[in-house]
Amino acid sequence: MNADNANVTFETENRSTADPAPHQTGRGGHAWPWINWGLALSTVPGAAIVMLFALGAVMSTDGCAGGGCPNLGRGGIDFGIAFYGAPLVAFVVIVISFFTAKRRKGIVVPLCGWALLVADVAVMVASVAS
């Protein structure tokens, strides 16, 4: 403290070169938003791949309209959910990531989005498997 300025303090500790800098004391705190946004934005190409897979799955059942494929599964594929659900999942993940990307637990949002995309493919595989 200084007698003229009571609110001024001086640091008396000597820092060695082995001590981390004050902004480097966290455990990768600056990496979390990049990881979250990387996973969130990667749901867009993931959704495109799911849409292509859905298109291929529906096209593979084209000859089964007259009951020619008895092993089609339970009622076939709901093309609307399989095809249009994937880009909706990617859109919702990106919108929610605007609010959660800077939080450490925000990684749950893109991981849940990826889980939904994988589940979409799994349901299509199960319904088209012969």
pLDDT at 81: 81
Assigned token pair, 45: 């190409």
pLDDT at 24: 47
Read off the pLDDT of residues 44-78 as tens digits, 9 standing for 90 and up.
999 999 999 888 877 877 666 666 666 665 555 56
In the chain, where the domains are located = 27-128
Torsion of the alpha carbons at 54, 58, 59 and 61, rounded to the nearest 10: 140
Output the average pLDDT for the chain: 78
Of the two residues 114 and 8, the one the predictor is more confident about is: 114
pLDDT at 116: 95
For residue 25, count other CB atoms closer than 10 A to its CB. Answer: 9
Of the two residues 39 and 1, the one the predictor is more confident about is: 39
How large a percentage of the chain has pLDDT more than 90?
A: 34
What whole-number distance in Å separates Cα of residue 122 and Cα of residue 51? 13
For residue 100, count other CB atoms closer than 10 A to its CB. Answer: 18
